[in-house]
Amino acid sequence: MRLEKKATVVSTSVAGLLVLIKMSVGILSGSVAVLASAIDSFLDLTVSLFNYFALNSAEKDPDDQFHYGRGKIEPLAAVIEGGVIFLSALFILYESLIKFVYPREMNHMLESIYVMIASFIITAFLVVFLNFVAKKTNNMVIKADALHYKTDLYSNGAVLLALFLVKYTAWGWIDALLGIAIAIYMIYSAFPIMKDGILMLLDVALSEEDVEMIKKVIESEPLVSSYHFLQTRESGSDIFISVHTVFNLEISLYDAHNIADKIEAKLKELFKDRTTHVLIHMDPYDDSI
């Protein structure tokens, strides 16, 4: 099993555990902040399950229906995950505003505090693990999952602080105010996830730094007179590069092909942690003019 899929299995299991304990205590205590955190964990569970099936589909080999594979499922999953975070934030914001206007008494404060402490510790370990996997694989789905659980870590810490304040000050409005703050933060966090996914679905080019590295590799080959039509894009964990290279008319096709193979190998070495597809056209003259 790929490391990315193992990460989704771990995140799904953790989310399921957190849903059970948070929902139980949230209902008993009447804390909108704890309930908001429970709802967020339930959405985490749903999204992590979706991510697992997305990664499972994305790694399938190309076939007669999908000649370039199913890599676009990964950015699609990121867009859906961002949308889920955004919608859940709106629900939390609504519930928090209702409680702010119509305060409700909170119970079982000590149990709620213990649950949020445990949730904070568990989520912290999960964030460290997901960040490790994201850096190692550079997978967009895992990056989105890591960012999602990082927002959970912040919200869990904020809920824990609010519970302490409510318990020792009896200011129940703090719970509602914190729910509003968590919702706003979740909305703020959702947009980068959706933006990155949408850009990849639209075949956005690689970063300027990556394109410059590609250019240096091509320009380092002395027998390449010039190049044009350099195009790059990402599809999930795959990178696609195409370029037209211009050779002297006197060079043989065999030699030009060997040079193209050399350039392809160097480009793949640049992105050795990704699956890189390189298409090099060998031109006898500059046909971009």
Which helix or strand (DSSP H or E) is residue 238 part of?
strand 238-247
List the beta bridge partners of residue 275. Answer: 238
Which helix or strand (DSSP H or E) is residue 281 part of?
strand 275-283
Q: What is the mean pLDDT of the segment spanning 209-218? A: 94
Q: pLDDT: is 199 or 78 the higher one?
A: 199
Tokens of 267: 């480009």
* pLDDT on residue 226: 92
Question: Per residue in 17-70, pLDDT tens?
Answer: 878 877 777 676 666 667 767 777 777 777 777 777 777 776 677 778 877 777
Would you place residue 106 in the very low, low, confident or very high pLDDT band (cuts 50, 70, 90)? low
Q: What is the mean pLDDT of the segment spanning 237-247? A: 90
Superfamily holding 3-201: Cation efflux protein transmembrane domain (1.20.1510.10)
For the chain, the maximum distance between any two Cα atoms, rounded to a whole number of angstroms, is 87
List the beta bridge partners of residue 71. Answer: none
- Overall residue count recorded for the chain in this entry: 289
Question: Per residue in 257-274, pLDDT tens?
Answer: 999 999 999 999 998 877
* pLDDT exceeds 70 at position 227: yes
* pLDDT on residue 230: 95
Contact of 268 with 276, CB cutoff 8 Å: yes
Would you place residue 172 in the very low, low, confident or very high pLDDT band (cuts 50, 70, 90)? low
Q: What is the mean pLDDT of the segment spanning 100-120? A: 72
Tokens of 252: 């043989």
Domain definitions of the chain by residue range: 3-201, 208-283
Give this prediction's pTM. 0.67
Tokens of 70: 């199913």
* pLDDT exceeds 80 at position 224: yes
Topology alike, domains 3-201 and 208-283: no
Query: Fold for domain 208-283?
Result: Alpha-Beta Plaits (3.30.70)
Mean pLDDT lowest for which of 19-28, 76-85, 104-113, 228-237?
A: 104-113
Using DSSP bridges, classify how beta strands 224-235 and 275-283 pair: parallel, antiparallel or unpaired.
unpaired
* pLDDT on residue 240: 93
Tokens of 51: 């991510």
